[in-house]
Structures are given as structure tokens and as C-alpha cells.
Structure 1
Amino acid sequence: METVAAVVVTFNRLNDLKICIDTLRAQTRKLDVIYVINNGSTDGTDEWLATQPDLTVTTQANLGGAGGFATGIQTAYNGGSTWLWCMDDDCVAAPDALQKLLESPNLGPCIKNSMSVSAKDHSELAFYVDRPNRTYRTVSDMTQFDLIYGVASFFNGTLIHSEVVKTVGTPDVKLFIWGDEVEYMTRTIKNGFPVVTVPASIFYHPPSFDRNGIPWPGAWKQYYAVRNQRRVFQNVHGDAYGMAVFAKWALGQTMEQARTKRTNRLYNFLIFGEAAIDSLINNFRKRPDNILTLRLYKYMHK
């Protein structure tokens, strides 16, 4: 009999976590186990989790989304679950979200993703998807299909078969955040497993935003989005050509920051450049406190 484990990664969003867990408990297809990976939260999450006997909890240092899902996926895989249903703590699952995923067409070992709908506007997707031949921005763009191949919003209702984990492994801890989920998706596709969105299965999530427009000092996250993109290009194009594609892309993106008249344009330019250089020299060790542009910004804004 197939078993399903939920994997929830959380960091300092206790109120969101409580809502997320409530929606998992209310699923029409009951979960066999709920794993919660607490990435070193300091907002009372530890204390609340200790009072929830139906949750299996792992507490670790903050290793970012990549480290959280790496731990959670490995833990659920080691536990013998057939399917691993992965999500951030700010996800809200429709009551039949899991049931709809499991009832969708059988593709064998694969990854099936719920449709991520904006929590603020239920007619829009939480994450816009632009493909060469089609753009998905509204719910109606997706609901006309039973399955949408090659499109998925990791890790927001992402159902992973254990055979995928056996072959592909877990997210790369070194990527930390922003881009680790795309790298895992492209690595899965590279290994020949189908990746699809199932529009009948609905997850609600806060809508995405223009990452380039994040106010400083929060824009340090863009460092990881740029740095980690190299791995995505290499999964898609191969190591050598992927590196060349990344170098061209990173140069264009960095120069765009210099040309675009935004507040803190200098810092945007510097952090894009720092991320590109670190990626090209294979420096994936930096955590936020080690990002030179962020340190410069904090020094200049004491």
C-alpha cells in the first residue's frame, strides 16, 4: 500500500506554520506522517511543536530552504514513505489537494505539483510562469489542462515519488535558498522523470514579487538567485556549455542593474557582480553574513 508523508520546512513563521499544519490534518486523504523541519526558529516554534504529538520534528541550524528540504526529504525517504509531499510553512492546502494529486493520471515515478494560487487573489497564480510557447498567469490559464508538463512550483505542494529521491537525491545544501528548488526540478528532468503540475490540486501561497525590487537590506537574497542559476543552466545545457550560458546571462543581468534607475542601484550592481564571480569560481560557501556587498551596505548605513 502506498504511503504519503508531508514534509514542512519552517523558520520563524509560527502563525503560518499552525495554519499550514491545520490544512494538512484536514486532508480528505489522510497523511501517514507529517515531518516538520525546524530551521532554528527563535519565535516560539520549538515550544509549540513540542506540544504536537502527531508531528515528527527535526530541529537544526538554519540551513536555508535547501538544507531544510534536504533534511526533510532524506528523513521521509529513510522512513519508507512511497510519496513525499513537500511544502514551505506559508502554504495553505485545499482539503482535497493531496487526493487530487494521487487521483491524477499515473505517470509512474515522477513529481506532481499542486497549482500554486495567489492567497490574495484566487483568480491569479502565486508564481507567473513564462515559457517560449505559453504564459501562465491566471488560474484559468492552467485549469484548461489535466496535466502541465515541465511546469512546477517547488516546494509548494510538491509530491515526489521515492524512486525519484533514490535516483536524484536531495536538494543541494550548498545552494542555501533561491534557486535550489529550480536546480532540483531541472536535475529531476535531466534524470528522465516527468515533472507536472496538476491544476485540480490547489495550494494557496503569498504571491511572488519582483526580486530585483526588494528593498535593501533584504535584497541580499538576490545574491543566491544569481549565484545558483549556474547550476540550473548546467543541468539544462550540460556542464561546459551551461557555464558559458551562465557567464553571458550573468554579465547581462549585472549590467542591467547598472543601467536601471532604482534606489540602491550601486548595491544591486555590486551584489549581482559578486554573485556571478562567486559562481564562476565555484564559491558556494557564503552565508548572508559573508556577502561582501551586504556587509558594505550595513557599514554605510549604520
Structure 2
Amino acid sequence: MPQPAGSPEMTSATAFDPATATIAIVTYNRSGLLTRLLESIIVMDPKPGHVVIVDNASTDDTTEVVESFRERLGTELVYRRLDSNTGGSGGFSEGMRVAYELGSQWMWLMDDDVEVIPDGLAKMGRWAPKFKSIQGRRYDYDGSEFYWQYRIAEPLAIPIPFAPAGFDASGYKPMNSGCFEGMFIHRDIVTQIGLPDPRFFIYWDDQMYGWLASRRTASVIVDEFVRAAPVRSSSTTSACAT
């Protein structure tokens, strides 16, 4: 398979094992969108070893929808229904905890309003031998390239409000932030910085977590499109998804 520009070459000694990865999804009362995400996981190649779904006490048919996918998802499904709505922050903290306790080496965090591109995990895995905190790119609901401010001005604690130059031949750019709509992080970093702080409820939890990760490892955004937004929506789980 041809390597995209900037992608590191893989060797047998450094090859990424998809079975060591877990996709952790947080959902709340959006079973229709969750259905589309789970349908996209069915056609993934390769698939992760586990899919963890954290349900923030939905009042719709989310439980029934999740159970309908258990036998056809093609990988092990772990469903955690919470007693109350803890927001995206609490949901991702719980999702990462479950993934970590499953022994996952890699945790891929996602909102319920995206779809995975079939070879998305393979694309992320190409970077796994080189980095331990990775963000891929996504297409917006209209097919355009979604832009996310992946660097923050540390003295001001706000995203840098201008677009940087495009990717060069390396295929990646340093970042000091994070977005739970697609953060791909290694358990070594989770061991060092702990779980996401559930007290944020929904905003700035991922920005803070990404910043903490960047203090311990080289965090990057890579020029790989691995997700798509099927519809325009207002996220109930992640501040960077809108």
C-alpha cells in the first residue's frame, strides 16, 4: 500500500496492532447519530479490539440500539450506562477508565455525531510508532475540510485565533491542545497524567487534557482524514465538535 506523504514507514518491529486499540464513545439521547457511527465501525478494516460506549443516562432508545449492534459490530462491545448525565467530561473520563482497565494500549475517543472512515484506524496506526498523542483530521458535514484550532496561547489559555500554514512534507504539526472528537492517545500518557477531569462537564476538558499530554510527550495533529461528520449538529459531548 502506498504511504501518504509524511507517513512513517512501518516495520515488523514497530507495527501497530489494531487489537490493542479501543474506541471510546460518549452518547446522550442521540441514538440516530450513534447508529450511523456504529454502522461505520462495522465496515472498518481493521477494527479495534474493543468499542466502549458510555451512555450519559439517555432517555431515548439508546440502550436498545446499542444491544442491536452487539452481535454484528465485529469486535467486542462494552456498554456502560451511567445513572446520571455527567456531561462529555464525565463520560470521556469513564470511557477512558474502562478502556484502560481493559488493557488497551491505545484509546481513540469519539463523540456520537461522527463516522469513522473505513481505514481510519490503519491511518492512525501508521503514526503510533512515532507519537503517543495524536489527532487526525475530519471532513465536515458538507464534505469540506474541518478546521480546528489545535494550538493554544498558554499565557492567555485560549486557542490561537488564526489559521496556521498548511502541512509540510512531514505530514504532521505540533499541537498543545486536544479534542475528544478523535483524540488517539497511548496508555503510557494516561498513566502519567491520569483520567480526564469530569468536573468540566462539557467545555475545556479536552483542551486541558491535550495540554497536559503535550507536557509529557510530543503531541501532533496529522494530515490524515479519519472521520467525517454526517450531519450538522451541536455536540452534547465535546466543545470542539461544533
TM-score if structure 2 supplies the norm length? 0.75
What letter corresponds to residue 134 of structure 2 in structure 1? K
CA pair 163-128 structure 1, distance change in 2 beyond 3 A: closer
Q: Which residue is equivalent to 1:268?
A: none
- Root-mean-square deviation over aligned CA pairs: 2.8
Structure 2 residue runs of 5 or longer lacking an equivalent are: 1-15, 71-75, 153-159
1:80-95 matches, cutoff 5 A: 80-95=103-118
Match of 1:148, SS? strand
Q: 1 CA distance for matches of 2:177 and 2:200?
A: 19
Would you say how many aligned residue pairs link Structure 1 and Structure 2?
206
Asked whether the 8 Å contact 1:9–1:39 carries over to 2, the reply is: yes
CA pair 10-126 structure 1, distance change in 2 beyond 3 A: farther
Identity across the alignment (%):
25
Q: Out of 62-71 and 20-29, give the one that drifted further.
A: 20-29
CA pair 9-161 structure 1, distance change in 2 beyond 3 A: same
Q: Does 1:184 align with 2:184?
A: no
Asked whether the 8 Å contact 1:126–1:208 carries over to 2, the reply is: no
Q: Which residue is equivalent to 1:127?
A: 148
CA pair 165-128 structure 1, distance change in 2 beyond 3 A: closer
Structure 1 residue runs of 5 or longer lacking an equivalent are: 210-217, 226-302
Q: Which has the higher contact order (CA 8 A, sep 6+)?
A: 2
- Deviation track 1:161-202 (CA, whole Å, cap 9, x = no partner) reads 011111111110111111111011111112x21211121242
Measure how far apart 1:103 and its partner are.
Answer: 1.1
- Structure with max Cα Rg: 1
Q: Out of 113-122 and 154-163, give the one that drifted further.
A: 113-122
Q: Out of 152-161 and 64-73, give the one that drifted further.
A: 152-161
- Deviation track 1:49-78 (CA, whole Å, cap 9, x = no partner) reads 233325210000210011000000010001
Q: Which structure is higher in helix share?
A: 1
CA pair 177-100 structure 1, distance change in 2 beyond 3 A: same
Q: 1:113 aligns with which of 127, 132, 135?
A: 135
Q: 1 CA distance for matches of 2:32 and 2:168?
A: 30
Asked whether the 8 Å contact 2:178–2:210 carries over to 1, the reply is: no
Measure how far apart 1:32 and its partner are.
Answer: 0.7
CA pair 121-129 structure 1, distance change in 2 beyond 3 A: farther
What letter corresponds to residue 135 of structure 1 in structure 2? A
